[in-house]
C-alpha cells in the first residue's frame, strides 16, 4: 500500500518514546486534522492498529484512500469489529456504488448499530430500494432504524411511503416511541403532500406524550402548517416559541410560509422584526425575503433588499438571489431589467434563471425573450419538457398555431416527454392522486358525473373556458379542447372532494406543476358557486380561493 503524502516531522512524544504504544498513537491521530501521514509513521514504528485507530482515521480520508485503508483493515483482521465496520460503511457514503458490497455480509457480522450505519449510508447515497430491502431483512430494528427509513423516503421524493412506514411502526407489537427526529421527518412528509390531517395528528401526539417542542420540531410544525395552507396555525406555533429558541431557521420558515401564502408585506415585516432582534439573517433568509417581494410584485422593496445584502448583511449574492431578482423583474413585465440582471451576474445562468426569464416573458408575450430563454434552458437540460410547454403556450396565446405544432414535433424528434401533471388531496385521512384525463379509478363514473355537474353550474354562472394555452397535443376543435381542459388533474381533484365531503368543507389541493389560467379562473368560480374555500398549492405558491377571488391577485 502506498500513499502520496509527506511524512510529518517527529513530535516531542515520538522523540521521547521511540515506540509509543497504540493508545499514544491514537491520541496523536485524534489531534491531527489530516492524520494519514502520522498513520504511516505508526506503521513504520511497527505498531499494530487497533479497533480505535480506524474510526479515528477513516473520516478524514479522501475517496481515493478509503479503498486502500479498507484493504489494510482486512489485513489486520479488524474488518468484522463493529466500530471499525460501522466507520468504514459511513466512509463509503462518498462512494455510493461501493456500498452494495456490504449487503452481502451475513447479519451475524452486522450488529444493530452497524446495520443502522449501512441503512443511513444507503439512504444518503439515494439507494432507496436497497435500503428498504436491508431494513426488512434486519433481525432487529430500533427507533434509529425506523427514523432513518422514514426520513429517507420523505427526502427522496416518496412522502406517501414515509407516512405508511410511520403507521407500520406505530402498529407494531413492540413499537418504539417516536423521538423528535422521527416526528420532524413525518412532518416533512406531511408538508410535501399537504396532508394537514396527518400533520394535525402528529401535533396532537407531540402534546399528548409531552415531547419537548425544541427548535427543530417547532420549525417542522411551522413548515408543515405553512405548506398545508394553515398559515395562522404556523404563526401560532412561531409566536409560542420561546425567543431563545427562535433561530434563523425558524424565522426563515415563517417568512417563507407567509410569502408563498400570498402575505408578502407580512413576510417583509417579520423579516424587519428579525433584524431588529439582532438575529443574524443567513443566505436562505434573504432568499425567503426576496421571494416575498417576487410573490407580491414588490419591485422597489426587492431592489432595496438586494442592494443591502452585501453592505448590511455581509452576504455575497449567489445565483439563487440573482434568480429571485430575475423572477421579480420578469413577472412584473420589466424584461429589460431582467436581462440586465442576467448579464451582470458573475456566474453563468442556470436552469432557474432561464426558467424565470421564460415564464415571465411568456406571461407578457415577449416571444423573442421566450425563444432566447428556451435556447439557454435546452443547452443545460435538453430533456426539460417544461421549457417546451411554456414556449408552446406562449405561441398558442399569440395564436401562432404553426409554431405550436413545430414545437411539438421538435419535442418528438428529441424524445422529450411531457411531465405528467398530478394533484393530491387528503380525504378521510387518505391521500388520493389524480392525473389529467384519468378517470380509471373505481369511482371514475361518479367522478365524471361530478365533473359534468361542476361544468354545467360554472357555465350557468357565465364561465367560458380559456383554451388559448391548450396542451401541446390538442389541435382539434374548440369543443374538444375545452373538454380536455376540464379533465385537468386539479379540476378532477376539486370535483372529487366536492363529491366526497360535506358542504362548506375546505378543499386543499397540492399540484406538481404550475396551475394553468383556465383552471385558476374555473376554481375561482367554484369557490363562489359551491361556497367552498379552496387552497391550491402549485410548484410556485399557494392560491387561496374564496368567494370568487384568489389571494394571488392574478399575479403568479
Asked whether the whole model's pTM tops 0.85, one would answer: no
The residue-averaged pLDDT of 501-515 equals 92
Which of 249-263, 348-362, 407-421 is most confident? 249-263
- Which class in CATH covers the domain with range 318-419? mainly alpha
Q: Considering only CA atoms, which of 279, 213, 295, 219 is closest in space to residue 253?
A: 219
Please check the confidence at residue 222 and state whether its pLDDT lies above 60. yes
Spell out a b/e string for 330-357, using b for 16 or more CB atoms within 10 Å of the CB, else e: bbbbbbebbbebbeebeeebbebbbbbb
**pLDDT over 60 (residue 4):** no
When mean pLDDT is compared across 10-24, 60-74, 408-422, 448-462, the lowest value belongs to 10-24
Residue with the bigger pLDDT between 428 and 239: it is: 239
Least-confidence region, from 160-169, 308-317, 416-425, 471-480: 471-480
- DSSP string computed for 151-216: HHHHHTT-HHHHHHHHHHHHHSTTPPPP-HHHHHHHHHHHHHHT-HHHHHHHHHHHHHTT----HH
Report the Cα–Cα distance between both ends of the chain, in Å, rounded: 60
Q: Specify the DSSP element, H or E, that contains 509.
A: strand 507-511
pLDDT value of position 329: 96
Across the range 75-94, mean pLDDT stands at 81
Q: What is the pLDDT of residue 13?
A: 45
Higher pLDDT, 541 or 524: 524
Distances (CA, A) of 316 to 248, 310, 523: 18, 6, 41
**How far is Cα 289 from Cα 303, in angstroms, rounded to an integer?**
12
Mean pLDDT of the region 488-501: 93
pLDDT band at residue 364 using 50, 70 and 90 as cut-offs: confident
The kind and range of the H/E element at 511 are: strand 507-511
3-state helix, strand, coil in the chain (%, to 5): 65, 5, 30
Q: Is 478 helix (H, G, I), strand (E, B) or coil?
A: helix
Cell of 118: 449501512
Q: According to the model, what pLDDT value does residue 308 have?
A: 94
Chain centroid to CA 120: how far? 19
What phi-psi label fits residue 39: left (phi over 0), alpha (psi between -120 and 50 degrees) or beta? alpha
- C-alpha distances (whole Å) from 187 to each of 159, 162, 224, 534 are 10, 10, 6, 22
Confidence of residue 473 (pLDDT cuts 50, 70, 90): very low
pLDDT of 472 reads 44
pLDDT score of 469: 56
Give the span between the Cα atoms of 224 and 376, in whole angstroms.
35
Range scoring the smallest mean pLDDT among 203-212, 225-234, 528-537: 203-212
Residue 323 makes CB contacts below 8 A (sequence gap 6+) with 350, 352, 353, 356
What does the pLDDT average to over 354-359? 89
Top-ranked range on mean pLDDT: pick from 5-9, 136-140, 197-201, 373-377:
197-201
Each residue's pLDDT tens digit, 268-319: 999 999 999 999 999 999 999 999 999 999 999 999 999 999 999 999 999 9
Q: What is the pLDDT of residue 470?
A: 53
How confident is the model at residue 418, as a pLDDT? 78
Binning pLDDT at 50, 70 and 90, where does residue 237 land?
Answer: very high
Contact predicate 237/222, CB 8 Å: yes
CA-wise closest residue to 535 among 233, 281, 203? 233
Query: At residue 174, does pLDDT exceed 80?
Result: no
pLDDT band of residue 405 (cuts 50, 70, 90) is confident
Interstrand relation of 507-511 and 534-537 (parallel, antiparallel or unpaired): parallel
Q: How confident is the model at residue 246 (pLDDT cuts 50, 70, 90)?
A: very high
Contacts of 384 (CB under 8 A, 6+ apart): 351, 377, 378, 416
Average pLDDT over residues 374-379: 84
> Where are the alpha helices (H) located in 381-441, listed in sequence order?
385-397, 401-414
Task: Quick: pLDDT tens for 312-338.
Answer: 999 999 999 999 999 999 999 999 999
Mean pLDDT, rounded, for 21-30: 90
Q: What is the C-alpha to C-alpha distance for residues 536 and 515, in angstroms, rounded to an integer?
A: 8
Q: How confident is the model at residue 63 (pLDDT cuts 50, 70, 90)?
A: confident
Predicted local confidence at residue 10, as pLDDT: 41
pLDDT at 11: 46
From 16-20, 43-47, 136-140, the region with the lowest mean pLDDT = 16-20
Cell of 31: 489531534
Amino acid at each position: 500500500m502506498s500513499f502520496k503524502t509527506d511524512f510529518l516531522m517527529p513530535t516531542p512524544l515520538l522523540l521521547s518514546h521511540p515506540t509509543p504504544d497504540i493508545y499514544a498513537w491514537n491520541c496523536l491521530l485524534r489531534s491531527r486534522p489530516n492524520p494519514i501521514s502520522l498513520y504511516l509513521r505508526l506503521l513504520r514504528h511497527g505498531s499494530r492498529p487497533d479497533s480505535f485507530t480506524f474510526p479515528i482515521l477513516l473520516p478524514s480520508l479522501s475517496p481515493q484512500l478509503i479503498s486502500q485503508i479498507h484493504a489494510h483493515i482486512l489485513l489486520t483482521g479488524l474488518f468484522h469489529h463493529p466500530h471499525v465496520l460501522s466507520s468504514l460503511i459511513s466512509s463509503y457514503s462518498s462512494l455510493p456504488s461501493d456500498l452494495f458490497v456490504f449487503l452481502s455480509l451475513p447479519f451475524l457480522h452486522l450488529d444493530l448499530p452497524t446495520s443502522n450505519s449501512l441503512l443511513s449510508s444507503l439512504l444518503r447515497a439515494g439507494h432507496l430500494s436497497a435500503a428498504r430491502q436491508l431494513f426488512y431483512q434486519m433481525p432487529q430494528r430500533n427507533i434509529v432504524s425506523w427514523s432513518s427509513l422514514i426520513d429517507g423516503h420523505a427526502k427522496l421524493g416518496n412522502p406517501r411511503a414515509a407516512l405508511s412506514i410511520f403507521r407500520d411502526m406505530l402498529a407494531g407489537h413492540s413499537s418504539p416511541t417516536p423521538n423528535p427526529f422521527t416526528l420532524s421527518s413525518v412532518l416533512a412528509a406531511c408538508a410535501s403532500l399537504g396532508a394537514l390531517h396527518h400533520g394535525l395528528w402528529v401535533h396532537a401526539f407531540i402534546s399528548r406524550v409531552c415531547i419537548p417542542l425544541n427548535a427543530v420540531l417547532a420549525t417542522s410544525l411551522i413548515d408543515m402548517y405553512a405548506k398545508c395552507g394553515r398559515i395562522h396555525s404556523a404563526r401560532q406555533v412561531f409566536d409560542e416559541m420561546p425567543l431563545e429558541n427562535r433561530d434563523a431557521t425558524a424565522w426563515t420558515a415563517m417568512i417563507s410560509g407567509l410569502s408563498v401564502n400570498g402575505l408578502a408585506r407580512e413576510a417583509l415585516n417579520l423579516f424587519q422584526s428579525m433584524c431588529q432582534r439582532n438575529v443574524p439573517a443567513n443566505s436562505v433568509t434573504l432568499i425567503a425575503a426576496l421571494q416575498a417581494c417576487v410573490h407580491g410584485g414588490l419591485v422597489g422593496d426587492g431592489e432595496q433588499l438586494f442592494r443591502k445584502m452585501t453592505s448590511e448583511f455581509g452576504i455575497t449574492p449567489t445565483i439563487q438571489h440573482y434568480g429571485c431578482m430575475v423572477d421579480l423583474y420578469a413577472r412584473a413585465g420589466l424584461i429589460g431589467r431582467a436581462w440586465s440582471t442576467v448579464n451582470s451576474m458573475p456566474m453563468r445562468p442556470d436552469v432557474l434563471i432561464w426558467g424565470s426569464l421564460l415564464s415571465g416573458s411568456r406571461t407578457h408575450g415577449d416571444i423573442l425573450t421566450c425563444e432566447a430563454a428556451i435556447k439557454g434552458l435546452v443547452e443545460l437540460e435538453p430533456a426539460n419538457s417544461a421549457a417546451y410547454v411554456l414556449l408552446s403556450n406562449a405561441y398558442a396565446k399569440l395564436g401562432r398555431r404553426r409554431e405550436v405544432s413545430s414545437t411539438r414535433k421538435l419535442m418528438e424528434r428529441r424524445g422529450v416527454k411531457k411531465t405528467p401533471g398530478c394533484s393530491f388531496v387528503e380525504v378521510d385521512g387518505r391521500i388520493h392522486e389524480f392525473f389529467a384525463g384519468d378517470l380509471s379509478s373505481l369511482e371514475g363514473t361518479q367522478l365524471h358525473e361530478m365533473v359534468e355537474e361542476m361544468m354545467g353550474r360554472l357555465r350557468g354562472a357565465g364561465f367560458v373556458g380559456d383554451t388559448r394555452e391548450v396542451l401541446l397535443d390538442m389541435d382539434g376543435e374548440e369543443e374538444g379542447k375545452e373538454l380536455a381542459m376540464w379533465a385537468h388533474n386539479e379540476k378532477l381533484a376539486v370535483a372529487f372532494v366536492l363529491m366526497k365531503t360535506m358542504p362548506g368543507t375546505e378543499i386543499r389541493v397540492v399540484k406538481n406543476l404550475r396551475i394553468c389560467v383556465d383552471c385558476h379562473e374555473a376554481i375561482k368560480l367554484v369557490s363562489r358557486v359551491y361556497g367552498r374555500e379552496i387552497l391550491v398549492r402549485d410548484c410556485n405558491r399557494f392560491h387561496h380561493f374564496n368567494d370568487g377571488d384568489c389571494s394571488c391577485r392574478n399575479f403568479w
